[in-house]
Amino acid sequence: MPDRVLVTGAAGFIGSHLVDALIDGGAEVVGLDNLSMGRRENLSRHATERRFRLVVGDVCDSGAVAAAASGCGAVVHLAAFKIPRYGNALQTLRVNALGTANVLEVAQTIGSRVVLASTSDVYGKSADLPYTESGNLTLGPPTVGRWAYAVSKLYNEHLALAYREAHGLRVAVLRLFGAYGPRQHRSWWGGPQSVFIEHLVRGEAVPIHGDGRQTRTFTYVADTVAALLAALRRPEADGEIINVGGDFEVSIVALARLVHRVLGLEGEPSIEWVPYASFARDYEDVHRRVPDTRKAERLLGFSARVALAEGLRLTIAWQRPLIEAERRVGAGGEPAA
């Protein structure tokens, strides 16, 4: 493990948990975040930590990246803009393309290793399941904006491997599947489980897109972070693309029912069926998304350990008090200390 690590997107969901783990492991950490989606509160436990420094800056600013990376033996690049389901395709493409180019250029200049976070979205609509890292990718047309995220992250992967070929950059690419847990964004940005918790705690119907039969696998954040740490430590990950995910496939409607049950609610959840056409023109969803994780087991010693029900319990224990505190304030009560 390098003595000093730069984490981009450090104040975000996965980034802040990675910072926790690196600091706990004795590393010195520099965090780079423009705080557009990340929150300082996610890093509050390190406010007085001498081995941590937060740089408020943008990965699209090459000077900010170079200054933050100075003296770092490794970079974990998590900063990104996500699925443009409701627009913002241009911002998604710009941030992910330019930001990653800056990180890779700086890393090869100073000789740092890079762990690049990619996404399961790059598999697109592939019917070749479970998804293997050497499998074909099937994306929709550019007229459908939701594919902008997948295209941008696939470009990131190509760019990373091109830097390795041209400059010998030590880089590992991890395709992350459905990370969730405490500090997740409490909107669709954070994933369906986040939205389901939010609505059910408030006593509201659960919004489900389409027919709810589309399936996903989810990965508790501690498992995701364990894979990132392993990629930092293990040179055999260099030059590889590796799936990181759980092995439990669940439909979205079954996920809603599981969240309902873990919350301790009786009966069945009330569901609001949301047609895709109501929020995007020609939206295309993925019917199944399941990773083959044998490569992660072989190269990283990784397998997801936290069962979905347990991970949801831990997530709810974090998210529920926030919702209830906001509800009390909205009802004229005192804000929580």
Active site residues: 149
Cβ atoms within 10 Å of 240's Cβ, excluding its own? 18
Q: Are 291 and 217 in contact (CB under 8 A)?
A: yes
- The token pair that represents 28 in the structure block: 């010195």
| Rounded Cα distance, 243 and 143, in Å | 28
In total, the chain counts a number of residues equal to 337
Query: CA distances (Å), 305 to each of 175, 200, 225, 288, in order?
Result: 18, 26, 12, 22
DSSP string, 48-92: T-TTEEEEE--TT-HHHHHHHHTT-SEEEE-------TTS-HHHH
Residue 13: which of 202, 196, 220, 207 has the closest Cα?
A: 220
Query: CA distances (Å), 82 to each of 57, 78, 79, in order?
Result: 18, 11, 10
| Rounded Cα distance, 228 and 93, in Å | 24
At position 134, the amino acid (one-letter code) is S
